[in-house]
Amino acid sequence: MKREDIDTVVNMLKDYPMQYIGVIGRDGKPKVKPFEFKYEEDGKLWFDVMKNQETYRELLDNPYVEITVADRVTTQWIRIDGKVRFVDNNDIRRKVVASSPVLKKVCGDDIVNVLPFTLDDVKVELSSLDTDMEKRVFVL
């Protein structure tokens, strides 16, 4: 894992704070949902889910996801796939909430239902519809 690769991923996620996550629904059909990257620490990308939401139950049933975002102007896009690993830890929970004004507004001080997660076995594909850009695939 190279720091340069991590920075590339983090910068793209920060530049486009509304990402989309693909999950397998409880009905067995694919679901794509708006999502928000929270922060990176020690090479790990951190996200969260609310314990009282359907997405949490879907991820319990099938923890494999793909996250994507694209730049409409440059047509550059990124896909990140991996396996969700929930981390029920209050310090990380507080960092996740602190990194997101939206989440802080939704939860306030009641953060007990916020469940942080990171991804294991992460593969990243960075590409563009512009044929001049070479596709990059790497592992974090």
Q: Which tens digit of pLDDT belongs to each residue from 77-114?
A: 999 999 999 999 999 999 999 999 999 898 888 899 99
Tokens at 76, concatenated: 């550059």
pLDDT of residue 131: 77
**How far from the centroid of its chain's Cα atoms is residue 132's Cα?**
27
Tokens at 59, concatenated: 């991820």
Per-position pLDDT tens, the chain of length 140? 789 999 999 999 999 989 999 999 999 999 999 999 999 999 999 999 999 999 999 999 999 999 999 998 889 999 999 999 999 999 999 999 999 999 989 888 889 999 999 999 999 999 998 878 889 999 99
Q: Which domains can be identified in the chain, with CATH numbers?
A: 3-139 (2.30.110.10)
Closest to 41 in 3D by CA, of 99, 121, 101 = 99
